[in-house]
């Protein structure tokens, strides 16, 4: 797994990060496509986690699909509980493709999403000291 630190864009101060990770399964993609829906969203990768967070805590993280705007493309919200809850909106897209060497692969592309309207909405609410929105 390769992950960059969370930074902010210069022009509008929106947060930016990216990660690249690879997991190899000892089964076919067809078998994985049958298994993943049974595991549910807890099997999907997370784009960001708090410092000192471990994979063993994954079941405690809550993700919810807010909108499916295309096949395998979603707007989602994630909450990672802790002394301070770690929350973010993101867009997730799952792509199945065939590489030039003929091997098939599934890719998950994620972008943490926020808008000025969302930030204003959160600012208008009561302060929540136990929640950190990215």
Q: Choose between 32 and 62: higher pLDDT.
A: 62
Strands (E), 1-134: 2-3, 7-8, 15-16, 19-20, 62-70, 73-80, 85-98, 104-113, 131-133
Q: What is the number of domains present in the chain?
A: 1
Amino acid 2: pLDDT: 47
- The pLDDT tens digits for 76-87 are 888 888 888 888
* Confidence tier at 6 by pLDDT (50, 70, 90): low
Amino acid 69: pLDDT: 92
- The pLDDT tens digits for 42-70 are 667 777 777 777 777 777 888 888 999 99
Quote the domain boundaries for residue 111: 2-133
């Amino acid at each position: 797994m390769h992950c960059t630190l969370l930074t902010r864009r210069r022009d509008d101060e929106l947060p930016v990060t990216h990660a690249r990770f690879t997991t190899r399964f000892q089964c076919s993609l067809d078998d994985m496509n049958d298994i993943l829906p049974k595991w549910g969203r807890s099997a999907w990768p997370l784009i960001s986690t708090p410092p000192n967070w471990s994979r063993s805590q994954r079941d405690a993280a809550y993700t919810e699909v807010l909108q499916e705007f295309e096949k395998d493309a979603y707007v989602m919200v994630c909450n990672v509980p802790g002394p301070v809850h770690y929350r973010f909106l993101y867009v997730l897209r799952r792509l199945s493709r065939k590489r030039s060497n003929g091997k098939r692969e599934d890719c998950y592309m994620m972008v943490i999403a926020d808008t000025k309207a969302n930030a204003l909405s959160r600012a208008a609410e009561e302060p929540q000291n136990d929640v950190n929105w990215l």
